[in-house]
Each structure stands twice: as structure tokens, then as C-alpha cells.
Amino acid sequence: MVITIDGPAGAGKSTVARALAARLGFDYLDTGAMYRAVALAGLRTGIDWENPDAVAALAQRINIELRQGRVFLNGEDVTEELRSSEVTRASRYVADNEAVRRRLIELQRQFAEGKNVVTEGRDQGSLVFPEAEVKFFLTASPEERARRRLRDYQAAGENPPFQQVLEELLLRDARDSSRPWGRLVKPEGAIEINTDGLDIPAVVDRMEAVVRETIAKLREKEKGPVM
């Protein structure tokens, strides 16, 4: 079973996806971390971000693994490094590269094969797993999302001005929504949840109820009519 959670940056996707997966006993797929891992590899090698072919070639030759909530780049645990503002800014060159997206989508589908998965990102319910049994679309106001992103930076030891974080987030929204391939959209059939003013348990409670109801319906359908 695949559960997708899509939405803009800072909507709370990663946090609630991880929590929902834990409650259900599902695997968690953090697709954003995969794009960040490519960005980190590019920063480490001094890649020319204006050369899309070089970025695509980089994504093909590196090894990205997701294990028990940790991200490994060529065998090295880089989970903490991925949250820096430098990686966040560089990740746009990765996300906007169609060849990179195709490569990472291939890896995402391989990860989910034969598993129960909660996956989050920008294009999970629309492009990567369009047949997912349950789809969610998380939103929040730009200001609330910027506050959350700022807390992430502060946890990583950085403290940029709030206005800068907000402006960068709005630019990210514009790029994500206008990308020619794999852009941010509300997937068909997705349940929208506005997370403004909601704590994590409240959001996860709502999502868990939907998933368990869907599981119950699928089980009833599998039983078929009583003869």
C-alpha cells in the first residue's frame, strides 16, 4: 500500500509522514532528502550548476540509500548535513532538472516495490505513484511555513533573518508550481489538510483515520460478496 503526501515547502510533510509511517508500521520515503543528497554531492564536488548535463550525470553515478530514517550518500550518513541552507538553495538546480527527476523517480519506485510506504514530496501522488491508495495534500500559510523552515535552520546552527527565509520560500513555491515536468500540484483525489494552527498529533490523527478506513474498505472488497 502506498500513501502519498504532497505539498509546498514547510507544510509539514516530512514530520507528519514520518509520524504516520511509525503509527502504521509502514516504511517512510523522504523524497526531498534524495534531491538534497544530489545537491550535497554537487556542492562537495564543486559542480557547475548551470550545466544541467553535468548535474544529471552526477545523479546517475552517486549512490543514495534511505535506511531507518537516515540518508546515506555513497555509504556515508549525511542526514544532518542535508538540512543546511546551502543545500536547500542548491537543491533547486537538482529539482528543476528533468533527467535528475526521472532518475530519482526510478529509485523511489524501487524503494516502494513490495512494501507498505508513506512517501512525501511535490509530485508523489500526481506523477510517481498516481495509483496510490490514499493521497494527501498539505498546505499552510507562507508565514507559518517560513517559521517552520527557520526553526529547521536554527536546529542546524544557522539563524538567517525571517524575511529572507520567507522570500526564499515564496520563490521556491513559484519554481515548484511552474516547473515544466514534475511540478507541484494537488493530485487528483487527494485530501487537502491545512496545517495552520494544528499540532503534529492532530494532523497525524486525521490522516491515520482516513488510512485505516481505506484499509478496512479494501479488506471488505477483497472478501467479495457472501454467497
89-123 confidence digits (pLDDT tens): 999 999 999 999 999 999 999 999 999 999 999 99
Predicted confidence at residue 226, as pLDDT, reads 53
pTM here is 0.89
* Mean of all residue pLDDT scores within the chain: 94
- What is the DSSP-derived secondary structure letter of residue 11? S
> Residue 225 above 80 pLDDT?
no
Instruction: Give the torsion through C-alpha atoms of 113, 88, 191, 147, to 10 deg.
Output: 140
Predicted confidence at residue 83, as pLDDT, reads 86
- The H-or-E segment that residue 119 falls in is strand 117-121
Predicted confidence at residue 208, as pLDDT, reads 98
Task: Supply φ then ψ for residue 84, to 5 degrees.
Answer: -70, 155
Q: Name the β-bridge partners of 71.
A: 66
Can you read off the three cell numbers belonging to residue 61?
A: 553515478
Q: What is the mean pLDDT of residues 17-36?
A: 95
Can you read off the three cell numbers belonging to residue 187?
A: 493530485
- Could you give the percent of the chain with pLDDT greater than 90? 84
How many other C-beta atoms can be found within 10 angstroms of the C-beta atom of residue 23? 15
Please say whether the beta carbons of 176 and 91 come within 8 A. no
> Residue 227 above 60 pLDDT?
no
In angstroms, rounded to a whole number, what is the distance separating the alpha carbons of residues 138 and 194? 6
Please say whether the beta carbons of 143 and 35 come within 8 A. no
Can you read off the three cell numbers belonging to residue 78?
A: 549525511
In the chain, the largest separation of any two C-alpha atoms, in whole Å, equals: 67
In angstroms, rounded to a whole number, what is the distance separating the alpha carbons of residues 200 and 129? 24
